[in-house]
Structure 1
Amino acid sequence: MQSAWYPDGLDEEELAFQQLYGPWRVSTPQEAGELFDGYSSDWWIAGGWAIEAFTGVRRPHEDIDVSLWRKDVETLRQHLKGRYHLWSNDSGRLSPLTDGRPEQPASADQIWIRRHALAPWEYDLVLNPDRDGRWIFRRDPSLDFALDEVTWIAPDGLRYITPEMALAYKARLNRPKDQEDLAVTLPLLSATRRNWLTDMIDHLHPSHPWLPLICGT
């Protein structure tokens, strides 16, 4: 029965998570592009897929990190209406976004979507705040950037977080997969990107073990 509902190869923690919330389907950037085709505002891809888009190095993916502006929740809801059900995720507490209750809770930064109650979840959408149209860095909300400073358009035509910003996010957890992403990305970064990443990680995590690696010392 387990194999009928959950994909093979899930570790114990991920299996327990899916048994609690329901199964997940792993989507690709190309599928995300189809999902957002015709969407009237900005969206972008972060995390491991952003690293792969920059380096060209294939890696396993447990999910896809798609972000959009928090202010555009209603735009998203209308774009997906009739195709997907949207659920706000507030630290694990899920509630549907419907015509009768369309407001995203202020404390909820994620929206999960699926086609219907018996379908797997397909996307965990992360809501990014803005300050007068500028992208707010959620690791340090005092910092903001123009969207074009922290994203780029890859050859596949999709917008991704820059590799240095993706690594700045990944530094906090420093998991084995984050270390692997650093290893494949670092040789491809320009001096300007390396310096930016060094300064940002030093700001967020002084004495982080990545700093000597990035500086080449």
Structure 2
Amino acid sequence: MTTPRRVPLARTPDEQAEEDAFLALYGAWAPMDPQTFAREMEGFGRPWWVVGGWAIEAATGYCREHEDTDVSILACDVPALVEFMRGRWHVWNNVGGVLHPLGDRWPTVEEPRSQLWLREHAAAPWIIDMPLTPDADGKWTNKFLADHVDEVENVTWAADDGIRYLLPEIVLFYKARLRRKKDEPDFEATLPTLTAERRAWMRKSLETVAPDHHWLERL
């Protein structure tokens, strides 16, 4: 199988400097792609799904460079994940840049909007970034729209290989508030694939959090 040629990730000089400083502080990353990570998750009995740039690629076919792989789970399922990964991967909780390992001493997270990072050991690179999804009685919730609560199956879709991905319009909604140059190609690739209903949802949602966003005129 031929490896697709990936478009280099577009960053402003400020974004690149921020990325370089991040790696210097927290260490190297060697992210697994979704298919490789899916093998690590075989047997995990709770829902998980891919978000971010990989979710855009799966939905559109637009192949670009990925600086990391973002996967999400419900915050209520953190203890189950920690136990599932025991003996294979160390699970760390990142709360606003402060890291601590999860395990017997800290079996779960106090901040359901925080992240999990996984690595094999202290000298190994990080392999996965898990931005957690706060749940409402086991249901998915939108981090920025308080009334958007649904079953995981209704806000994700399953590819042919069984991997679940967050719907692309929700991915873009999350990205929009950051206003990053690197997210512009994702928007351009996704816009033609969205139905009128999905465009309308994204426009209405974006108006609530970023009413001056330049994407609105395209929606």
**Fold similarity call, TM over 0.5:** yes
Tell me, yes or no, if structure 1 residue 210 matches structure 2 residue 215. Answer: yes
TM-score w.r.t. length of structure 2 = 0.88
Which consecutive residues of structure 1, in runs of 5 or more, have no partner in the other structure? 1-9
Q: What is the identity percentage for the equivalent residue pairs of Structure 1 and Structure 2?
A: 44
The separation in 2 between residues aligned to 1:54 and 1:106, in whole angstroms, is 30
Tell me, yes or no, if structure 1 residue 26 matches structure 2 residue 36. Answer: no
1:89 touches 1:108 (CA, 8 Å); kept in 2? no
> Which residue of structure 2 lines up, in the alignment, with residue 105 of structure 1?
110
> Which residue of structure 2 lines up, in the alignment, with residue 94 of structure 1?
99
Deviations 1:118-152 (A, max 9, x none): 11111111211111232110012342122222111
Relative to structure 1, is the Cα distance of residues 203 and 101 closer, same or farther in structure 2, using a 3 angstrom cutoff? closer
Give the aligned length.
205
Tell me by how many angstroms 1:155 deviates: 2.1
TM-score w.r.t. length of structure 1 = 0.89
- The aligned amino acid for 1:157 is G
The separation in 2 between residues aligned to 1:122 and 1:31, in whole angstroms, is 10
Relative to structure 1, is the Cα distance of residues 171 and 106 closer, same or farther in structure 2, using a 3 angstrom cutoff? closer
The separation in 2 between residues aligned to 1:12 and 1:64, in whole angstroms, is 20
Deviations 1:82-134 (A, max 9, x none): 00111111111111112233232336611111101111111111211111232
The separation in 1 between residues aligned to 2:111 and 2:168, in whole angstroms, is 29
Pairwise mapping of residues 56-135 of structure 1 onto structure 2 (< 5 A)?
A: 56-106=61-111, 109-135=114-140
Tell me by how many angstroms 1:210 deviates: 0.7
> Which residue of structure 2 lines up, in the alignment, with residue 17 of structure 1?
22
> Which residue of structure 1 lines up, in the alignment, with residue 151 of structure 2?
146
Relative to structure 1, is the Cα distance of residues 61 and 201 closer, same or farther in structure 2, using a 3 angstrom cutoff? same
1:50 touches 1:166 (CA, 8 Å); kept in 2? yes
Which consecutive residues of structure 2, in runs of 5 or more, have no partner in the other structure? 1-14
Structure 1 residue runs of 4+, over 4 Å off?
none
1:88 touches 1:105 (CA, 8 Å); kept in 2? no
Tell me by how many angstroms 1:27 deviates: 1.7
The separation in 2 between residues aligned to 1:11 and 1:175, in whole angstroms, is 11
Tell me by how many angstroms 1:164 deviates: 0.8
Instruction: Give the alignment's Cα RMSD to 1 decimal.
Output: 1.7
Tell me, yes or no, if structure 1 residue 169 matches structure 2 residue 198. Answer: no
- The aligned amino acid for 1:58 is C
Moved more, 96-105 or 72-81: 96-105
> Which residue of structure 2 lines up, in the alignment, with residue 189 of structure 1?
194
Tell me by how many angstroms 1:72 deviates: 0.8
The separation in 2 between residues aligned to 1:207 and 1:16, in whole angstroms, is 30
Relative to structure 1, is the Cα distance of residues 157 and 92 closer, same or farther in structure 2, using a 3 angstrom cutoff? same
- The aligned amino acid for 1:197 is M
- The aligned amino acid for 1:193 is R
The separation in 2 between residues aligned to 1:128 and 1:176, in whole angstroms, is 25
